[in-house]
């Protein structure tokens, strides 16, 4: 054997040892920056391929995942996978179990969710996961936007994982507000704080729906007593959440300090999950998401509404 061959072999052995020592499995267990509800893009890139990690994309726009996603990520469609196809409801328990089993999720799996549009629907996904008692679910801070902006690697192959028989719990009613709960607050029979995370124009009733979205409610305005903190105020320019300190201050200014239970809502219940995530997972407040949101409340007969703009639907 020549000396060159020896040197090559030694180098290969060294390289292998080096690889083994930074093997992803070791990192997932010991990483300090993944203890909270958020993981950084850097942490995720370092940990890709770890056996107990499952990355799941939940994006608003169809076709985004297919053109390139975080390597190894599976795709959950918010309207086809995480919603019931017929009733207005989240996915059924049985279907959710099938979905997670197909993605190879086990009780030991750490799940990282991410998506486009500042994690809107990924945060809504996190709410659905929480509803069904799936533990160890994190959000990639900054989502697709930051991952792409940092030029991190994208893949367009769809991974196939060995299916499992994963079970979830019954949906936890304490995470979900219903019309009756919101009505109690509006009529002063409950002390919860309402956070309306829509734009100011929607909140004040100037418009019935944000630009580009259909007018799905026949009344404009907001639930009486709600505070308006548009969701976008909770994020930085790069799509990451603001610091816990800044978030605490932001909501305190609107009278939301965590001393009373909170209900978040928006138009169809998805964007409000983003604020729900900040309030519960980052600030540790007691918050529920009202997924019926304005399209349910604003269409309900006889409920009190505050509409400072006085717009009248369908008037000429």
Partner 1 sequence: MIEALTKDAPSASRGGPDGPRKLLRPVLASLAVLGLLAWSVRALGAAPGGRNLAFALGIGTILGIVLQRARFCFYCHARDHVEGGDPRGLLAILLAMAVGILGMLLVISGWLPDPQGGRLPPEAHIGPVSWALVAAGLAFGLGMVVSGSCISAHWYRLGEGSPTSPFALIGAAGGFLLGFNTWNPLYSATIAESRVLWLPQKLGYVGAILAQLALILLIAALIWRPRKEAPPPPARSLGEAARRLIEGRWPAWVGGLIVGAIAAVVILRLRPLGVTAALGSGARGLGDAWGWIPERLDGLDGFAGCVTVITEALWRTPNALLVAGIVGGAFAAALASGQFAPKLPTGTQVFRGLTGGLLLGWGAMTGLGCTIGNTLSGVMAGAVSGWVFTFAMVFAIWAGLRLGLGTGGRRRASA
Looking at the annotation, which residues are catalytic?
A: 266
Integer Cα distance of 265 and 179 in angstroms? 11
Integer Cα distance of 228 and 222 in angstroms? 9
Nearer to partner 1, 29 or 160 (CB): 160
Nearer to partner 1, 61 or 187 (CB): 61
Q: Is the dihedral of CA 63, 64, 68, 70 positive or negative?
A: negative
156 counts as binding partner 1 under rule CB under 8 A: yes
Quickly list H helices, the chain.
3-21, 24-30, 41-47, 93-102, 116-131, 143-149, 179-186, 200-203, 244-253, 271-277, 293-297
Nearer to partner 1, 43 or 65 (CB): 65
CB of 83 to partner 1, least distance (A): 14
Please measure the distance between the N-terminal and C-terminal CA atoms of the chain and give it in whole angstroms: 92
CB of 117 to partner 1, least distance (A): 12
- Size of the chain in residues: 316
For 15, other C-beta atoms within 10 Å of its C-beta total: 10
Nearer to partner 1, 54 or 288 (CB): 54
66 counts as binding partner 1 under rule CB under 8 A: yes
Integer Cα distance of 73 and 124 in angstroms? 18
Integer Cα distance of 177 and 200 in angstroms? 22
Integer Cα distance of 71 and 56 in angstroms? 10
Nearer to partner 1, 158 or 169 (CB): 158
CB of 75 to partner 1, least distance (A): 9
Q: What are phi and psi of 195, to 5 degrees?
A: -115, 120
Q: What are phi and psi of 52, to 5 degrees?
A: -100, 20
CB of 161 to partner 1, least distance (A): 12
Query: Cβ(69)–Cβ(121) under 8 Å?
Result: no
CB of 62 to partner 1, least distance (A): 4
Q: Residues touching partner 1: how many (CB under 8 A)?
A: 12
CB of 103 to partner 1, least distance (A): 13
Q: Is the dihedral of CA 193, 271, 80, 94 positive or negative?
A: negative
Q: Scanning residues 74 to 103, which ones bind partner 1 (CB under 8 A)?
A: 80
For 174, other C-beta atoms within 10 Å of its C-beta total: 10
Nearer to partner 1, 150 or 286 (CB): 150
193 CB contacts (<8 Å, ≥6 apart)?
A: 227, 255, 256, 260, 261, 262, 263
Nearer to partner 1, 12 or 160 (CB): 160
157 counts as binding partner 1 under rule CB under 8 A: yes
Binds partner 1 (CB under 8 A): choice among 158, 200, 243, 299: 158
Binds partner 1 (CB under 8 A): choice among 18, 30, 63, 165: 63
9 counts as binding partner 1 under rule CB under 8 A: no
CB of 157 to partner 1, least distance (A): 6
Stretch binding partner 1 (CB under 8 A), from 57-65, 123-131, 257-265, 271-279: 57-65
Q: Scanning residues 125 to 154, which ones bind partner 1 (CB under 8 A)?
A: 149
Q: Scanning residues 178 to 217, which ones bind partner 1 (CB under 8 A)?
A: none
246 counts as binding partner 1 under rule CB under 8 A: no
Report the interface residues with partner 1, using CB under 8 A: 62-63, 65-68, 80, 149, 156-158, 160
């Amino acid at each position: 054997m020549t000396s060159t061959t020896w040197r090559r072999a030694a180098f290969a052995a060294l390289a292998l040892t080096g690889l083994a020592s930074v093997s992803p499995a070791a990192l997932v267990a010991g990483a300090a920056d993944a203890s909270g509800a958020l993981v950084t893009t850097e942490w995720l890139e370092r940990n890709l391929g770890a056996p107990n990690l499952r990355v799941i994309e939940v994006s608003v726009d169809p076709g985004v995942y297919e053109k390139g996603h975080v390597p190894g990520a599976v795709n959950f469609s918010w309207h086809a996978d995480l919603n019931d196809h017929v009733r207005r409801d989240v996915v059924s328990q049985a279907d959710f179990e099938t979905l997670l089993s197909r993605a190879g999720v086990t009780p030991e799996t750490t799940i990282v969710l991410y998506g486009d549009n500042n994690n809107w629907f990924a945060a809504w996904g996190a709410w659905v996961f929480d509803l069904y008692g799936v533990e160890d679910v994190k959000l990639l801070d900054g989502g697709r936007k930051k991952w792409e902006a940092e030029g991190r690697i994208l893949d367009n192959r769809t991974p196939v994982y060995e299916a499992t028989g994963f079970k979830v719990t019954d949906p936890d009613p304490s995470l979900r507000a219903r019309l009756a709960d919101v009505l109690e607050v509006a009529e002063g029979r409950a002390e919860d704080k309402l956070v309306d995370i829509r734009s100011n124009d929607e909140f004040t009733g100037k418009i019935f729906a944000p630009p580009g979205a259909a007018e799905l409610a026949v009344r404009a305005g907001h639930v009486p007593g709600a505070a308006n903190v548009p969701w976008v105020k909770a994020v930085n320019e790069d799509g990451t959440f603001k610091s816990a300190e800044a978030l605490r201050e932001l909501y305190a200014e609107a009278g939301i300090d965590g001393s009373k239970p909170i209900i978040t809502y928006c138009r169809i219940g998805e964007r409000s999950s983003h604020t729900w995530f900040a309030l519960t997972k980052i600030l540790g407040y007691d918050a529920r998401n009202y997924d019926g949101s304005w399209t349910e409340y604003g269409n309900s007969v006889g409920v009190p509404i505050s509409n400072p703009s006085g717009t009248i639907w369908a008037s000429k």
